[in-house]
Structure 1
Amino acid sequence: MDFPVPGRRRETARVLHDIDLEIPEGRLTAIVGPSGSGKSTLLLCIAGLERATAGSIEVLGTDVMSLSPRKQAAFRSENVGFIFQEYNLVSSLTVEDNIALPARLAGRRVPGPRVGDAMSRLGIAQHARRRPDQLSGGERQRVAVARVVANQPRIVFADEPTGALDLKSGQVVLDWLQALPAQGTTVLMVTHDPHAAARADQVVVLGSGRVRTVIPGGDSHAVSDAVLAAQSEFEAGVRAS
């Protein structure tokens, strides 16, 4: 995938290339790699929020690159949930209204008991009528996870979901991300934290816009070693050029 280089006419920077990757359904997959390796760009391309310049991307049996922007948005509303580092909550809505919002935008209705159950399971039921600016960062991220739990999307994209959280709040979020596949949800998570990545079923390691390796989850040291190897390979390439 190419992006224009700011200030340089007709010059582009290749962010992703030669990607050949299959994400197993009903599993938690983590994407890791050195800074600038293309982790978030890959996630956004798969989600249809960035358009790749070549190749094909199939999500849940649908070629998302062949869809118009309007149909891509409809596809996401029907099938996809998001958890981002910045929470992406609507400041003017209450916690329970934020949780129900994705279904409302898709023309559906989440039953009240399901919203209440999601809030209770994430430990935020007491904040149901509060607005996001009345909550801590950890509580806001729990609202984002509760939104996913209540709306039951088929796939969840999480971009650095614990990056702005303290250790305890981050563990709560990771516990729920790890539990989502039990309800049939596929989770794809970008993270810089090897301990978070080790919670995944598999870990995709990127380097210089390519998939360098795919390893099983469970071992944070193996994740760290794989990322360091990708970084070393990149630095060696820079020195050679």
Structure 2
Amino acid sequence: MPIAAPVSAPCIRMRGLHMEFPIPGRKREMARVLHDIDLDIPEGRLTAIVGPSGSGKSTLLLCMAGLERATAGSIEILGTDVLSLGPRKQAAFRSENIGFVFQEYNLVSSLTVEDNICLPSRLAGHKVPESRVREAMSRLGIAQHARRRPDRLSGGERQRVAVARVLAHQPRIVFADEPTGALDLKSGHVVLDWLQALPAQGSTVVMVTHDPHAAARADQVVVMGSGRVHAVISGGDPHTVSDAVLAAQSKDDADEAAA
């Protein structure tokens, strides 16, 4: 059974999800990073994933996004069993439905800002209308940098390019892994404002963050601990998020001491 009922129809449905990695230097020994995850991500909402360092939150996001392949279990995205797809079909599915905003920006240094924004759609075989690209740049305050390359921009401006790329492409789902981790406070607020606005435009957003104030902007917050879902709570209050993360950490410490 899922750990909590979603607030709307699930966009992503995970059942019995496990993830293991081989331990270097130890033959046949595996480290389990995710343990029996049952979780629904509601459609048209912002979901934040938080937890202590090493809790498995980024691994969970990468498995959802298809960038890491889960060892066992099932993942349905928009009604499609993505683990049953081969690599090419998975890549095509991501290209059609998923956008990414990561801490490292993932921009192509040899391309201009405008070309970076257009790149995902070009790779998918269709062209984004120029008007939509211009609108995305204008809304993020980077229109004046359209012909510049990423190495001429600040970290905050590069992350705005990454968000503009998502706005222009209009994917059904946006995965964001620590999108404000390398930004100053002002730039971080700009990026969070736009991630928070995306569900109103039809996108489902899943964001990993260590910042309880960022997580509190979400509609729901998934709290991870030791590779398990420790709790699912409502967003809105950073103190409640902090308390939930500390509770997960305390349980992790108690379990480790008892082992």
TM-score w.r.t. structure 1 length? Answer: 0.99
Cα offset, 1:7, TM superposition? 1.4
- Is it true that 1:153 corresponds to 2:171 in the alignment? yes
Q: Distance in 2 between matches of 1:134 and 1:206?
A: 37
Q: Distance in 2 between matches of 1:127 and 1:51?
A: 37
Name the residue aligned to 1:18: 36
Residue identity matched to 1:11: E
Name the residue aligned to 2:160: 142
Q: Distance in 1 between matches of 2:124 and 2:235?
A: 34
1:3-26 superposed Cα distances (whole Å, 9 cap, x missing partner): 101111111000001100000000
- 1:3 maps to which of 21, 43, 46: 21
- Partner of 1:158, secondary structure, is strand
Equivalent residue runs for 1:1-241 within 5 Å? 1-241=19-259
1:163-187 superposed Cα distances (whole Å, 9 cap, x missing partner): 0000000000000000000011000
Cα offset, 1:53, TM superposition? 0.8
The structure with the greater share of residues assigned to strand is 2
Cα offset, 1:126, TM superposition? 0.2
Q: Distance in 1 between matches of 2:44 and 2:109?
A: 32
Q: Distance in 2 between matches of 1:53 and 1:239?
A: 27
Identity %: 84
Q: Distance in 2 between matches of 1:178 and 1:216?
A: 15
Cα offset, 1:219, TM superposition? 0.4
Residue identity matched to 2:84: S
Residue identity matched to 1:131: R
Residue identity matched to 2:133: V
TM-score w.r.t. structure 2 length? Answer: 0.93
Cα offset, 1:94, TM superposition? 0.2
Say what the alpha-carbon RMSD is for the aligned residues: 0.4
1:86-132 superposed Cα distances (whole Å, 9 cap, x missing partner): 00000000000000000000001001111000000000000000000
- Partner of 2:198, secondary structure, is helix
1:189-229 superposed Cα distances (whole Å, 9 cap, x missing partner): 00000000000000000000000100000000000000000
- Partner of 1:36, secondary structure, is coil
Cα offset, 1:81, TM superposition? 0.2
Q: Distance in 1 between matches of 2:98 and 2:254?
A: 39
Q: Distance in 2 between matches of 1:229 and 1:18?
A: 20
Report how many aligned residue pairs link the two structures: 241
Give structure 2 stretches of 5+ with no counterpart. 1-18
